[in-house]
């Protein structure tokens, strides 16, 4: 009877197909109250720079970013004074987060990330090998999700990876790799199960029930007494349930975890409990019954919501966080998507919340806004402290991933050692690494691909110039024709990229020095420079010989924009605001 009732409860919470906007058919109500969404009209009513800040606050939370050139019009009479026609809006992001990638596209992105055999053939009919963008090591199960979030376009696939990452780093689902009975395979299995559950539309209750019954759960909490107590505390927020724990552990007496020599496996004792015992006001006989009572309990959704609220609204008072949790619970969320979407798009989060950025929220979005050519050791560095970017090791910042038995704490570690390592990694490994961002940012002229296309003929060209142009054009076409199919396709991609970079460079080259400074400030901290900052920086540029005195120091000398950018970003790397997600009102 118990099993039938709880099974119905879990099945009844299963959502159907994902809906745009994140509302599943079984979601009771739209988010409201303290998590009422920021409306399109309210977003459009914000000043231009605040719109850019809101968009990048949301995208930074998602570990990505929107470059200035993709939001502001740079070809206007007054650059940076209006929004591009095709610039992302909040509604666009919400829609993209609910659209699945095509299977072929996802496979292609994964090949680009990790390498593999391409679907493209060479001239001999052999499948081409794709060079990996990133290097991985024994911690690949932690590194690959970050690589996917970084490389995938905004989509339900990237969103699912992001949600699974957050859940696996909380007390709710942490693999607890730091303890001796857990290892990297537990990380792999928990993360994969979370991602699959989210992508298939499983309910929160079903995902919690599945996790409780897993060997990974028992590897974290290894005895019936410890396991049952922790399930009530973690998933229901019920502490000091000393009367319930002995009875719950009696129901779970048929299960035990083997020791290290036997591989920490979940096994049966062959002495099952046969007596119905009253736990949490429900009669249970075995551990599955107990887990189903926890997964079906009315306190589960508020408790899960509170764990996430404590992180995303860390800067708010306890009273505020309780009110936000109540608003989420009142919307009767069914899936984790319902909760995350309610949080991310809420007016309270986007306009009224300030909190420290995690390293993922600081480094990865900055890399996207700078259009940084990612170092292949990026995720080895962040997770393992190995390779050329070992300085980005998050463990040295007090922020290891999926390691702590009870998950990461809700607040970002800001002690002097942790923050010093955070600042050093962001500044030296990214913001001062101009070689990897100066061309894409538009502060260095891009190199033309080879064979180099011939410049268009001038309208008033002489006969000699026309003849020379025709000769050059013929030589160019001959050089292109000699390329293999693979080389020709690569050349076309390089040409397309060059045209985009060259156009951006022309726009940046036309900016006055004050406009260039604002462009760099918007890139790093999503605001324009103050009068004092602009004056002092211009004096510094002048002292270093980067300004063109012929035009009253209004423009940079040829080839000096990247030097100006480096000085400006070095200054910005020292501002406290760089390390916080901003409150806008």
Nearest partner of 372 among 453, 463, 443, 438, judged by Cα: 438
Same domain, 71 and 170: yes
pLDDT given at position 389:
97
The string of pLDDT tens digits covering residues 309-338 is: 999 999 899 999 999 999 999 999 999 999
User: What is the domain extent for residue 195?
Assistant: 38-202+298-354
Q: Dihedrals φ, ψ of 323, to 5°?
A: -65, -40
- Residue 66 pLDDT > 60, yes or no? yes
- Which of residues 452, 469, 497 is at a domain's end? 497
- Which of residues 455, 472, 497 is at a domain's end? 497
The string of pLDDT tens digits covering residues 405-460 is: 999 999 999 999 999 999 999 999 999 999 999 999 999 999 998 888 888 888 88
Q: Is there a domain that residue 119 lies in?
A: yes
The string of pLDDT tens digits covering residues 169-218 is: 999 999 999 999 999 999 999 999 999 999 999 999 999 999 999 999 99
- Residue 1 pLDDT > 80, yes or no? no
Residues whose CB is less than 8 angstroms from the CB of residue 296 and which lie 6 or more positions away in sequence, other chains included: 6, 9, 10, 205
| C-alpha–C-alpha distance, residues 339 and 456, integer Å | 55
- Residue 15 pLDDT > 60, yes or no? no
Same domain, 341 and 457: no
Q: Is there a domain that residue 319 lies in?
A: yes
Domain total for the chain?
Answer: 2
Integer CA distances (angstroms), 100 to 18, 69, 335, in order: 10, 27, 17
- Residue 225 pLDDT > 70, yes or no? yes
Nearest partner of 293 among 275, 308, 278, 271, judged by Cα: 278
CA torsion, points 543, 546, 552, 554, in degrees to nearest 10?
A: -120
Q: Indicate the pLDDT class of residue 17, thresholds 50, 70 and 90.
A: very low
Query: Average per-residue pLDDT in the chain?
Result: 92
Q: Where do the DSSP E strands lie in 264-390? A: 266-268, 277-279, 282-284, 355-356
pLDDT given at position 424:
98
Structure tokens at 562: 């990247």
Nearest partner of 489 among 128, 126, 150, 151, judged by Cα: 128
The string of pLDDT tens digits covering residues 484-509 is: 887 888 889 889 999 999 999 999 99
Tell me which of 132 and 128 has the higher pLDDT: 132
Same domain, 457 and 325: no
The string of pLDDT tens digits covering residues 277-304 is: 999 999 999 999 999 999 999 999 999 9
Structure tokens at 410: 């809700």
Structure tokens at 284: 């249970």
pLDDT above 70 coverage of the chain, percent: 94
- Which of residues 497, 513, 542 is at a domain's end? 497
Same domain, 157 and 306: yes
Q: For tokens 């916080």, what's the residue? A: 580
Q: Is there a domain that residue 21 lies in?
A: no
| C-alpha–C-alpha distance, residues 324 and 344, integer Å | 12
| C-alpha–C-alpha distance, residues 173 and 166, integer Å | 9
Under 8 Å between Cβ of 133 and 144: no
Q: For tokens 């997770």, what's the residue? A: 383
| C-alpha–C-alpha distance, residues 310 and 504, integer Å | 41
| C-alpha–C-alpha distance, residues 297 and 310, integer Å | 21
Same domain, 186 and 329: yes
Same domain, 338 and 471: no
């Amino acid at each position: 009877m118990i099993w039938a009732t709880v099974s119905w409860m879990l099945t009844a919470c299963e959502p159907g197909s994902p809906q745009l906007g994140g509302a599943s058919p079984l979601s009771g109500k739209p988010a409201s109250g303290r998590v009422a969404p920021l409306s399109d009209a309210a977003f459009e009513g914000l000043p231009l720079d605040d719109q850019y800040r809101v968009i990048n606050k949301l995208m930074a939370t998602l570990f990505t970013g929107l470059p200035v050139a993709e939001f502001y019009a740079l070809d206007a009479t007054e650059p940076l004074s209006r929004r591009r026609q095709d610039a992302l809006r909040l509604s666009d992001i919400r829609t993209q987060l609910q659209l699945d990638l095509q299977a072929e596209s996802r496979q292609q992105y994964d090949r680009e990330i990790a390498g593999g055999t391409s679907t493209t053939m060479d001239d001999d009919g052999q499948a081409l090998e794709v060079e990996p963008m990133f290097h991985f090591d024994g911690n690949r199960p932690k590194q690959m999700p970050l690589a996917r979030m970084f490389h995938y376009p905004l989509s339900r696939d990237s969103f699912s990876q992001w949600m699974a990452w957050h859940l696996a780093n909380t007390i709710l689902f942490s693999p607890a790799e730091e303890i001796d009975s857990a290892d990297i395979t537990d990380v792999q299995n928990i993360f994969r199960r979370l991602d699959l559950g989210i992508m298939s539309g499983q309910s929160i209750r079903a995902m919690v029930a599945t996790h409780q019954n897993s060997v990974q759960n028992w590897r974290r909490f290894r005895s019936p007494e410890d396991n049952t107590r922790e399930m009530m505390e973690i998933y229901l927020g019920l502490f000091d349930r000393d009367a319930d724990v002995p009875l719950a552990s009696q129901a779970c007496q048929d299960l035990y975890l083997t020791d290290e020599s036997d591989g920490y496996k979940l096994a049966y004792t062959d002495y099952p409990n046969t007596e119905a015992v009253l736990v949490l006001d429900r009669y249970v006989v075995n551990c599955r019954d107990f887990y189903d009572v926890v997964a079906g309990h009315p306190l589960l959704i508020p408790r899960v919501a509170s764990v996430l609220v404590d992180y995303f609204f860390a800067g708010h008072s306890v009273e505020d966080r309780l009110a936000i949790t109540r608003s989420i619970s009142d919307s009767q969320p069914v899936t984790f998507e319902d909760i995350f979407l309610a949080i991310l798009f809420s007016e309270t989060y986007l306009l009224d919340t300030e909190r420290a950025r995690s390293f993922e929220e600081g480094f990865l979005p900055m890399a996207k806004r700078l259009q940084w050519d990612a170092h292949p050791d990026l995720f080895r560095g962040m997770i393992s402290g190995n390779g050329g970017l070992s300085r980005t090791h998050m463990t040295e910042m007090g922020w290891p991933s999926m390691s702590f038995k009870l998950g990461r704490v809700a607040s970002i570690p800001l002690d002097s050692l942790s923050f010093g390592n955070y600042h050093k990694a962001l500044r030296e490994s990214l913001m001062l690494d101009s070689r990897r961002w100066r061309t894409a940012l538009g502060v260095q002229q891009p190199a033309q691909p080879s064979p180099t296309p011939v410049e268009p003929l001038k309208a008033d060209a002489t006969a000699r110039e026309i003849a020379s142009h025709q000769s050059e054009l013929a030589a160019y076409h001959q050089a292109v024709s000699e390329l293999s199919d693979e080389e020709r396709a690569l050349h076309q991609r390089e040409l397309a990229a060059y045209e985009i970079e060259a156009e951006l460079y022309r726009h940046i080259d036309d900016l006055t020095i004050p406009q260039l400074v604002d462009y760099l400030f918007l890139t790093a901290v999503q605001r324009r420079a103050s009068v004092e900052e602009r004056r002092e920086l211009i004096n510094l540029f002048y002292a270093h010989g980067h300004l063109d005195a012929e035009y009253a120091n209004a423009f940079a000398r040829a080839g000096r924009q990247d030097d100006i950018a480096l000085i400006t970003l070095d200054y910005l790397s020292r501002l406290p605001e760089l390390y916080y997600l901003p409150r806008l009102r």
